[in-house]
Amino acid sequence: MTDFTKIGYLKNGNQKQVLAYKILTEYEVLANITEFDPILVGTIPINIDIENSDLDIIRYCKNKEYFIEKLKSFFGNKNEFTIKETIIDNQETVIANFKIERFEIEIFGQNIPTKNQNGYKHMIIEHEILQSKGEKFRLEIIKLKQKGYKTEPAFGFLLGLKDNPYQELLNYKIDSVS
């Protein structure tokens, strides 16, 4: 099983994964915020990205104001830098966006340990589903994403999930995969 908590696996991946590794290390994106237990999540790590997929990084931020100041000091000078505060799943959330070279980067912070955040849980479950379903399924997910589906709804559609794919994926059992 791939250790998604460290980005070393990207070095041996596809062209976009290798480039993501280069950008994240060269610009010290993760190194600058290592105290927040950052994890790269989303579609690029599990090879279901499309042309405009961004680099999604989740963070554990116990102190929102401190976290915001760190984001501004490290990334405030990057192209198209924005930062906003919102509520997601009843949690205070800080989201920063910026661009480095060809990548849009989103840093998502909540006062939840990163391995307990839904972004990480979804990616791990989706990775396991992709491993069990194979290449044809992976390509079908990408086709749906190219048609405008978000990742979890694409999985939900192909897996026949009926209600809220974001919630249903969290409870999905791989042994039910045929």
**Exposure b/e, 112-129, CB count within 10 A at least 16 = b:** bebeebbbbebbbbbbbb
pLDDT at 50: 94
Q: Give mean pLDDT, residues 95-107.
A: 96
- Is 154 within 8 Å of 51 (Cβ atoms)? no
Under 8 Å between Cβ of 99 and 74: no
Q: What is the pTM of this model?
A: 0.93
Following DSSP, what letter does each residue of 140-164 receive, concatenated?
HHHHHHHTT--HHHHHHHHHT--S-
pLDDT of residue 70: 95
pLDDT (0 to 100) of residue 172: 86
pLDDT tens by residue, 122-167? 999 999 999 999 999 999 999 999 999 999 999 999 999 988 999 9
Confidence band of 175 (pLDDT split at 50, 70, 90): low
In which residue are the tokens 């680099």 written?
A: 55
Token pair belonging to 62: 């116990």
The predicted structure's pLDDT at residue 173: 77
pLDDT tens digits, one per residue of 25-83: 999 999 999 999 999 999 999 999 999 899 999 999 999 999 999 999 999 999 999 99
